[in-house]
Amino acid sequence: MKYRITFPSRPGGGARGWGEVLLWLLGGGALVLTVFGLTFYMAMKVEMRSTEVMVPELTGLSMEEANAKASPLGLVLQVADRRHDPRVASGRVLQQQPAGGSRVREGRKLKLVLSLGGRVLTVPDLVGEADRAVEIRLRQDGFAPGDHARVGSRDAPSGSILAQVPPPGSPGVPNTRVHRLVSSGPPDLAWVMPDLIGRPRDQVERWLEATRFRRGPVRTIRAPGEPPGTVVGQLPLAGYPIRRNDIVELTVAR
């Protein structure tokens, strides 16, 4: 049996009729292409969905543990960086990209940042340096200024560091306290205060002027049996140490 396709004739026929037929064919072709495109898109989407996996959470794991979780999913681990972090032990995953819980295709590379653990510092050599400048340097290097004590030294200028704890080159961690022994300069010379009791006031004052000790206020009191102008009291007392520019106070009989 043979079939023939016929098209209805319309008034006007001719070129106008064939134009309508052509439009009908083009419209049908466009519909077919649209349906095919949608079908292909949905098929590809289903196919891609079937090859996606969920990224496991790897932070805090060792590389061996991370590989054990990533390899069965077809994911490849790549170490992108290493950083110090005292909260995460050395060699364990500090960060990951993409994050855990994301969906990616099989074969995707996961970039990891591994921890180097807490930063290990080396205590600097501070001996001979000025104590004020050293406090700034310690903070910049990650240390904390500790206690400091002062002691006289004839060999080091005032304010310079004589010794330190921990010693130079010792390992440390951030905020380790560094204690210093600081020079206060040459120690003051001290003499033994002589006994001035019973000496005339003018003689004692000439002695104070010659030795450059400072004369303090002079008190006068009634001292029966002592000639007027005789020293009957003194500060510092006889036998006590006295240093340059110390004040000497006298009590004199009137």
Indicate the SS3 state at residue 133: helix
Q: Let me know: does 246 contact 214? Beta carbons within 8 Å.
A: yes
Residues sharing a CB contact under 8 Å with residue 27, sequence separation 6 or more, in sequence order = none
Q: pTM, whole model, 2 decimals?
A: 0.42
Cβ–Cβ under 8 Å, residues 115 and 91: yes
**144: pLDDT confidence band, cut at 50, 70 and 90?**
very high
**135 against 8, higher pLDDT:** 135
Average pLDDT on 239-248 reads: 87
pLDDT score, position 7? 46
Alpha-carbon distance of 145 to 11, in angstroms, equals 105
pLDDT tens-digit series, residues 92-105:
999 999 999 999 99
As a whole number, mean pLDDT of residues 200-211 equals 90
Using one digit for the tens of pLDDT, what is the confidence trace for 102-120? 999 988 999 999 998 877 8
pLDDT band at 17 (very low <50, low <70, confident <90, very high): low
191 phi and psi, to 5 degrees? Answer: -120, 170
Q: Please tell me the distance from the alpha carbon of residue 6 to that of residue 4, in angstroms, as a whole number.
A: 6
